[in-house]
Amino acid sequence: MTTNNSKARQSTNVDPVLSINPVFVRPGEATEFSKFVMPDEPSLPETAYQIVHDEAMLDGNSRLNLATFVTTWMDDEAKKLYAEAADKNMIDKDEYPATAAIEDRCWRMLADVWHVPDPNDTVGTSTIGSSEACMLGGLALKRLWQEKRKAEGKSTEKPNLIMSAAVQVVWEKFCNYWDIEPRYVPITKDHMYFDGYNLEDYVDENTIGVVVILGQTFTGAYEPVKEIAKKLDEIQASTGLDVKIHVDGASGAMIAPFCQPELEWDFKIDRVNSISTSGHKYGLVYPGVGWVIWRNTAVLPESMIFHVSYLGGDMPTLALNFSRPGAQVLLQYYQFLRLGREGYRAIQQNSLDVAQYLSAGIAEIGPFELVTKGDTIPVFAWILKEGATKNWSLYDLADRLRMKGWLVPAYPMADDLSDMVLQRIVVKVGMSRDLATALLSDIKGEVEFLEALETPLPREASSGSHFHH
Ligand SMILES: *Cc1c(COP(=O)(O)O)cnc(C)c1O
């Protein structure tokens, strides 16, 4: 029998090696590539695919990534739509008029959700993410200030922007790239987030605006837009300076309208000139899409608008990028239609519930003290109680959890409180109560392990570097 079989194999003329595993052992094909020099020769698509695919397996599992705010799960219809639309370039408005029209509908829906006073007199756009959206919001504030100063015959040399010391890094970049003096309001134990306290010490005639963050990246806290606006009203009454607000609602602008409808933070407050958000955070779309909307056309300087051809006519655009994916905009529209307000409410509320279930569980473990509990955006942070542990820190706990696959970063608080070490969890759709229970049990187990240590673990210099802020 054996003899017959080997004869039959020979007769088909197929190399037995190829029929076993054509990708890895195909004769003469390289399966090892130089990392930094482009290969001279092409390789077969299956080989290149397999190599890239396999190397990407070494990334953390995105579903266990509790460090990122960015969407890591979409349903199968969304995935199908994504694959179908992967070739669309958002800037080709003339060639893809349907995608352009859908972009327009999306930001108009958001403008409505955020209570613009007049839906016929507002302007907005999609962006690659909140970073670009914040830059555009900030630039508009700068231009408005410049125009006003020029009209008054005053200097435009020294613009400044007021924000919390705990801003997301995009605002530091914005000030750096556009030569604006950042005025950071420090974070203290009494003022763990920017709340308008002492704001009068920061505002002057060169202030282009105030950034208020709805969903601070360090802790998830909401900076109170209404109180800060009220403080600015008082400042205007005493100094005559009329300072406007950009709300950086990267996370919160897609949570508050659905889960905290009584909170006043959006265009209902007169001082809010513009609002930005990340479609790819709690907008529930894969990376990268963001949105920015202005209260009315008067607060978006005409000089920032460029004109592209659209259906033979004229289409105003404003963006830092030229080409960028159109698929994400279609995915955003898919989510708006698929979920509606009630769907967004239910999903975000579930994330809030899971976040609060986790924060309550973590508070019970003993050495931890909650800084926030996950009742603003579904994000919360904790610190170690003073003197609660001998031989370990939150960095050690982060490392131990990483060994189990969980990415739960530990990081220092913003300047002025950088001695304080926080650990944070971002709950998103896809983090079920089941997974949360498994995480709690792993945290308990690792705390027991760390508590039993006789001496501290060796620390690597890079620890804490995987914080997203
Ligand atoms: C994430 C975030 C940003 C940056 O957003 P991207 O969409 O990642 O560009 C800006 N501000 C805040 C408050 C954020 O949370």
Task: Judge if 254 and 117 occupy the same domain.
Answer: yes
CB-based burial of residue 275 (10 Å sphere; 0-12 exposed, 13-18 middle, 19+ buried)? buried
Query: Would you say residue 110 lies in a domain?
Result: yes
pLDDT of residue 96: 87
The one-letter code for the residue type at 204 is: D
- pLDDT tens-digit map of 397-442: 999 999 999 999 999 998 888 889 999 999 999 899 999 999 999 9
> Which residue minimizes the CA distance to atom 6 of ligand 1?
130
Task: Judge if 368 and 310 occupy the same domain.
Answer: no
Ligand 1 neighbourhood includes 168 CB (under 6 angstroms): yes
352 forms beta bridges with: none
pLDDT of residue 328: 96
Task: Judge if 155 and 250 occupy the same domain.
Answer: yes
Q: Which atom of ligand 1 is nearest to the CA of 290?
A: 7
- pLDDT tens-digit map of 293-347: 999 999 999 999 988 776 667 777 889 988 899 999 999 999 999 999 999 999 9
Mean pLDDT of 177-187: 96
Distance 15 CA to ligand 1 centre (A): 54
Report which of 300, 312, 279, 281 is spatially closest to residue 102, judged by C-alpha positions. Answer: 279
Query: Which of 294, 310, 336 is at the close of a domain?
Result: 336
CB count in 10 Å sphere of residue 388: 12
Q: Say what percent of the chain tops pLDDT 90.
A: 73
pTM of the model: 0.91
Query: Would you say residue 75 lies in a domain?
Result: no
* CATH at 410: 3.90.1150.160
Contact of 150 with 311, CB cutoff 8 Å: no
Ligand 1 neighbourhood includes 220 CB (under 6 angstroms): no
Report which of 359, 464, 370, 332 is spatially closest to residue 411, judged by C-alpha positions. Answer: 464
Q: Which residue has the higher pLDDT, 270 or 462?
A: 270
Distance between CA atoms of 188 and 191, rounded to whole angstroms? 5
Ligand 1 neighbourhood includes 130 CB (under 6 angstroms): yes
Mean pLDDT of 110-137: 97
pLDDT of residue 374: 98
Task: Judge if 53 and 88 occupy the same domain.
Answer: no
Mean pLDDT of 59-88: 92
Task: Judge if 313 and 399 occupy the same domain.
Answer: no
pLDDT of residue 71: 94
The one-letter code for the residue type at 164 is: S
Query: Would you say residue 27 lies in a domain?
Result: yes
> Which residue minimizes the CA distance to atom 5 of ligand 1?
130
Q: Which atom of ligand 1 is nearest to the CA of 132?
A: 9
pLDDT of residue 46: 84
Task: Judge if 160 and 297 occupy the same domain.
Answer: yes
Ligand 1 neighbourhood includes 170 CB (under 6 angstroms): yes
Query: Which of 308, 336, 364 is at the close of a domain?
Result: 336
Per the structure, the count of domains in the chain is 3
Distance between CA atoms of 425 and 67, rounded to whole angstroms? 6
Three-state SS string across the chain, please? CHHHHHHHHHHHCCCHHHHHCHHHHCCCCCCCCCCCCCCCCCCCHHHHHHHHHHHHCCCCCHHHECCCCCCCCCCHHHHHHHHHHCCCECCCCCCCHHHHHHHHHHHHHHHHHCCCCCCCCCEEEEECCHHHHHHHHHHHHHHHHHHHHHHCCCCCCCCEEEEECCCCHHHHHHHHHCCCEEEEECCCCCCCCCCCCCHHHCCCCCEEEEEEEECCCCCCCECCHHHHHHHHHHHHHHHCCCCCEEEECCCHHHCHHHHCCCCCCCCCCCCEEEEEEECCCCCCCCCCCEEEEECCHHHCCHHHCEEEEECCEEEEECCCCCCCECHHHHHHHHHHHHHHHHHHHHHHHHHHHHHHHHHHHHHHCCCEEECCCCCCCCEEEEEECCCCCCCCCHHHHHHHHHHCCCECCEEECCCCCCCCEEEEEECCCCCCHHHHHHHHHHHHHHHHHHHCCCCCCCCCCCCCCCCCC
Mean pLDDT of 203-207: 98
Query: Would you say residue 64 lies in a domain?
Result: no
Q: Which atom of ligand 1 is nearest to the CA of 167?
A: 13
pLDDT of residue 88: 93
Distance 466 CA to ligand 1 centre (A): 15
pLDDT of residue 30: 57
Task: Judge if 232 and 107 occupy the same domain.
Answer: yes
Report residue 416: phi and psi, to 5°: 85, -20
Query: Would you say residue 71 lies in a domain?
Result: no
Report which of 60, 58, 55, 57 is spatially closest to residue 404, judged by C-alpha positions. Answer: 60
Ligand 1 neighbourhood includes 127 CB (under 6 angstroms): no
> Which residue minimizes the CA distance to atom 1 of ligand 1?
250
Q: Which atom of ligand 1 is nearest to the CA of 129?
A: 7
pLDDT band at 370, cuts 50/70/90?
very high
Query: Would you say residue 263 lies in a domain?
Result: yes
Query: Is a pLDDT exceeding 70 seen at residue 194?
Result: yes
pLDDT of residue 460: 63
Task: Judge if 316 and 362 occupy the same domain.
Answer: no
Mean pLDDT over each residue of the chain, to the nearest integer: 90
Distance of CA 126 to the CA centre of its chain: 15
Mean pLDDT of 172-193: 95
pLDDT of residue 6: 47
Distance 248 CA to ligand 1 centre (A): 8
Q: Which atom of ligand 1 is nearest to the CA of 134?
A: 10
pLDDT of residue 402: 93
pLDDT of residue 351: 97
Mean pLDDT of 97-108: 94
Query: Would you say residue 319 lies in a domain?
Result: yes
Distance 254 CA to ligand 1 centre (A): 13
Report which of 391, 409, 408 is spatially closest to residue 453, judged by C-alpha positions. Answer: 391
Task: Judge if 183 and 294 occupy the same domain.
Answer: yes
Ligand 1 neighbourhood includes 290 CB (under 6 angstroms): yes
pLDDT band at 7, cuts 50/70/90?
very low
In which residue are the tokens 């231009």 written?
143
Going from the C-alpha of 408 to that of each of 60, 112, 169, 232, 405, the distances in angstroms are 12, 35, 20, 37, 9
Report residue 214: phi and psi, to 5°: -100, 95
The one-letter code for the residue type at 281 is: K
Distance between CA atoms of 104 and 90, rounded to whole angstroms? 12
- Tokens for 333, please give them: 């529209």
pLDDT of residue 44: 84
pLDDT band at 9, cuts 50/70/90?
very low
Q: Which residue has the higher pLDDT, 235 or 430?
A: 235
* CATH at 310: 3.40.640.10
Ligand 1 neighbourhood includes 217 CB (under 6 angstroms): yes
Most confident segment among 88-102, 167-181, 406-420: 167-181
Task: Judge if 118 and 261 occupy the same domain.
Answer: yes
Task: Judge if 353 and 322 occupy the same domain.
Answer: no
Query: Would you say residue 212 lies in a domain?
Result: yes
pLDDT band at 1, cuts 50/70/90?
very low
| Range(s) of the domain holding residue 425 | 348-462
Task: Judge if 125 and 53 occupy the same domain.
Answer: no
Distance between CA atoms of 251 and 264, rounded to whole angstroms? 16
pLDDT band at 40, cuts 50/70/90?
confident
Q: Say what percent of the chain tops pLDDT 70.
A: 91
The string over 158-191, giving b where at least 16 C-beta atoms fall within 10 Å of a residue's C-beta and e elsewhere, is: ebbbbbbbbbbebbeebbeeeebebbbbebeeeb
